[in-house]
Chains A and B, each alone.
Chain A
Amino acid sequence: METKSVNPSYKLELTSSPHVHSRWSTKQAMWFVVIALIPALVSAVVFFGPYQLLIVLTSVVFCVGTEFLIKKIRKRKTTVGDGSAVITGLLLGLILPPNFSLSSTAIGAVFSIAIGKEVFGGLGYNIFNPALVGRAFLQAAFPVAITTWTNPNFSVDTVTSATPLAAYKFDKIFTSIQPMFLGNIGGSLGETSALAILIGGIFLIAVGVVNYRVPLAMIVGILIFAGVFWMIDPVKYPNPAFQLLAGGFLFGTFFMATDWVTSPLTSKGMWIFGLGIAFLVVVIRIFGGLPEGVMYAILIMNSVVPIINRYTYPRIFGEAK
């Protein structure tokens, strides 16, 4: 018999098992997140006008540029292709107030990547969500500009420019649920429309990028914690549905708290993390000086992720329960 296979002219790969790999890759997951943010981006344009695209674009360009430059300076391989800087840029842009200044946006973007991510060693090593680090910096640097809200395009109210949370905090006015669900309220670019956020968020869970545990824990958590206060005094405290839909809670739930790098690894840890954020949000909103607490709640919980991981390792198969 002619031997066709003894002396192959091609090279055979020799690696240890497994020899097949899932279709998953970091890059693919990142671009899924970008796709999931499109509905929120659309809602920003619908409710606040096309100028908002410039804010988001500025944020993305400066995030990507900063990462590119830092990798160049540190003589490391460029990583902008993985899409993570694009996500940080999109996320930061979408949590800024409408008509925010482009130069301030650029500063925030540079800070997000440089201090939020690259000083720790880049993607995978950062402790805090980079976009929230940038947002926190802008809050401190431009406290007035970052709390100046524009009325949405279809607003019936032409006088006050306030977010539902500020209206509640300072004037004890409750906004009704329907405009909050659609997004026809004052607020940050991508945070006002619960509908748009849910579309993107459910997409991410469906394709498997986001684990359902953190979002579910946060939603269940805020309904419980807000519900307790509401039951104590329904006049003084807002109802759970309001707490769920107001401010940046849903955006934070699906796009910030679910960041792979800065959330826990273990399933028990994910529940603790989500419930912890929800608890802090309610506490800050009700007792804090600021009307909104999602950003700080997530950043605080980010800081305890290593401890959560350590104490929530699962029981090894077969060990006593």
Chain B
Amino acid sequence: MISLSHSKTFKGGVHPYERKVLTENMPFEFMPNPKQIIIPLTQHLGKAAKPIVKKGTEVKAGELIAEQDGFISSPVHSPVSGKVSKITVGANVIGFPKDAIVIESNETNEIVFMPLLDPEKVTPDEIRERVKIAGIVGQGGAAFPTYIKLSPPPDKKIDVIILNGCECEPYLTRDYRYMIERTNDLIAGLRLIMKAVGVEKGAIGIEDNKPDAIIKLTEAVKDYPNISIEVLETKYPQGAEKMLIKAVTGKEVPPGKLPFDVGAVIQNIGTAIAINDAVAKGEPQFTAALTVSGLGINQPKNLIVPIGTPLSDILDFCGGVKENAVKVVVGGPMMGVAQYDFSAPVMKATSGILVLTDEEVNEHEESTCLRCGKCIDACPLNLIPTKLARLSSLEKFEDAEQLGITVCMECGTCTYTCPANIPLVQWIRFGKQRVMALQKERQSA
């Protein structure tokens, strides 16, 4: 029996209504290729990839269409077989203008794979190189090129690789389905990461609302005594890097520092599977696994779709949007981005599409701050959201800087919990950007 009573966690946080029940028992479905796909050259954090195809080029699925450009960058592969119809400038990508390659898919569905590598014999350098050329980026949301995370600076000693299986965002069940359906592949992926970084210890952090996944993973790692399953309290934002490290290792990542600095490397569940697929199956990252959910969509599903699939195709595949929908969000409800245009394409790191109704959004009128302190109790980083928001609104950026505004990770816990419905994190985001601009000015001065 697995005891859930001593789940580890961090201080603060909130318990939003999960609604994972909408999709958690639905196996992944493969969505058929759409007629047209739009593949942004910036799938990742960093410099855009450089296109190597032109209008009219015939491509197969898995073929390189844009190459890595610089250190923090990542290549892009075609997810379908077809013909490049154009390369557009400033297409709408999840709310931001980005350049993109547009491909009209054909029916042949030919796929080219990379040569297979033997997971037991592969060397750390070969793993890193494969991750790099397969265009793998972090699946947790920030989409940082993964090969860089597998190459920690030599002066940092890494003790542990932690796979993030928290999936603390409400609604989303993608990582949960991965843990259930591809248990062994994800363990294999974790072992490849451990080999690449040269680390003995691995851990998988899972929230205690996923007992089935905990049981399956515990069973799957029983031959690997160096991999532990860490059961964590179900609480938002348990899956934030700093919170996860705190819960698993007890260490706190100092402001402005990285997980490297406390000897940890965090990878998402989906990233581990992508690494396994790249090494053992020779498959570059050209699909996205995501949850389509919310009370405003007719048929909630867990899907595997080609990257570049427009939202409209996915929403149609899920039976269309209900009349009472008020918001369409890409990502989770706590940190996702609201959409205005359904032609926007899915990217490598897209984890969900949510169609929300009034009932779920639960907006109410803003009133004055009553100084109840709920935002302070909830802030996982021990900031004073009410004060930071007020200083930002008064444009007192130096004072906000003093109180640590740049430490904020914008998890939205404060806004979620505020009884006066003050847009706290929104004000803090504004203030944080201004403070960071000030800091840049100071540096260059």
Contacts and interface: CB of A to CB of B under 8 A. Distances in A.
Interface of A: 1-6, 8, 10-26, 28-29, 82, 122-125, 211, 260-267, 270, 313-320
Interface stretch (B36-44, B218-226, B327-335): B327-335
What is the interface of chain B mostly: helix, strand, loop, or mixed?
A: loop
17 contacts: A2-B316, A4-B320, A5-B315, A12-B327, A12-B328, A12-B340, A17-B410, A18-B334, A19-B333, A19-B334, A20-B333, A22-B16, A24-B417, A29-B372, A263-B371, A270-B373, A318-B252
A12 B338 contact: yes
A318 B338 contact: no
B67 interface: no
A122 B326 CA distance: 34
B67 to A, nearest CB: 33
Given A24-B374, A313-B403, A18 B425 contact: yes
A44 B147 CA distance: 71
Contact of A5 (B312, B333, B368): B312
B373 A265 contact: yes
A1 B314 CA distance: 12
B420 to A, nearest CB: 5
B323 A19 contact: no
Contact of B421 (A13, A25, A270, A320): A25
Nearest to A125: B368
Interface in B1-31: 14, 16-17
Interface string B247-262: 0000011110100000
Interface string B280-316: 0000000000000000000000000000000111011
Given A6-B312, A265-B371, A266-B373, A20 B338 contact: no
B370 A313 contact: no
B154 to A, nearest CB: 24
Contacts of A5: 311-312, 315-316, 320-321, 342
A26 B426 CA distance: 20
B421 A21 contact: yes
Contacts of B380: 317
Contacts of B255: 316-319
B387 to A, nearest CB: 8
A17 B370 contact: no
B326 A13 contact: yes
B17 A260 contact: no
Contact of A211 (B367, B377, B416): B377
B419 A24 contact: yes
A74 to B, nearest CB: 15
Nearest to A315: B382
Interface in B342-378: 342-343, 354, 356, 360-364, 367-374, 376-377
Contacts of A314: 376, 382, 384
A22 to B, nearest CB: 5
A160 to B, nearest CB: 43
